[in-house]
Amino acid sequence: MEIKSAKFVISNTDVSKCPLPVKPEYAFIGRSNVGKSSLINMLVERKDMAKTSGKPGKTQLINHFGINDTWYLVDLPGYGYAKVSKDRRDIFQAYISEYILERKNLLCLMVLLDSRLEPQKIDLEFMDWCGENSVPFIMVFTKIDKLSKKQFSDNIKHYKDEMGKHWDELPECFYTSAEKKEGRKELLDFIEKTNKLFK
């Protein structure tokens, strides 16, 4: 897939104010500071479409971007640690959950996972929640350029082993580096293929 246009559409915390669900949609989510904004910018080849920050919890809204005027890319707030109050985090969780469960045109959640880390409890719990609620998702490992091939191989095996304990079949996995632009073609090919399923 070639990205010909990528433009900001709307930010909000109210699912009813999201764009009409007439185009396929893909939402990116992960622990705070997993490299979500960098990956989104790499995918659409824009330096600052999604706001990047060294400070966790920068994204606090549901951000819609129109891609090629045919599908939506959605940047969701990170879950887990963020420098915001607990009350604020509870509000995040409420509208993120509502968005994920109620958005009819959401074809797939891109769950971002830091490839440098062992399986994180909060990530595993979030993916279990997706499974329990029949939310389609894929696992997108980030920052694969930051570790050796052996470390990468060991970490991915550890993740798959951990998931395999209570998943009969693992979701599809993708491996990315925003810096090296690795995984871009594979993710865009997946989106292009999945777009054809949208009714």
3-state class (DSSP) for residue 73: strand
pLDDT of residue 49: 81
- Res 58: pLDDT: 45
- Residue 96: predicted pLDDT: 87
Q: In angstroms, rounded to a whole number, what is the distance separating the alpha carbons of residues 11 and 62?
A: 5
- Could you say which architecture CATH assigns to the domain 6-194? 3-Layer(aba) Sandwich (3.40)
Separation CA 174–CA 148 (nearest Å): 17
- DSSP bridge partners of 110: 28, 138
Q: Which of 102, 73, 71 is nearest to 198 (CA)?
A: 71
Domains of the chain: which residue ranges? 6-194
Hey, what are 183's tokens? 């995984």
Q: Which two tokens stand for residue 112?
A: 């971002």
List, run by run, the mean pLDDT of 10-residue segments along the chain (199 residues).
94 92 97 90 89 52 94 88 51 78 96 94 90 95 96 94 91 96 98 94
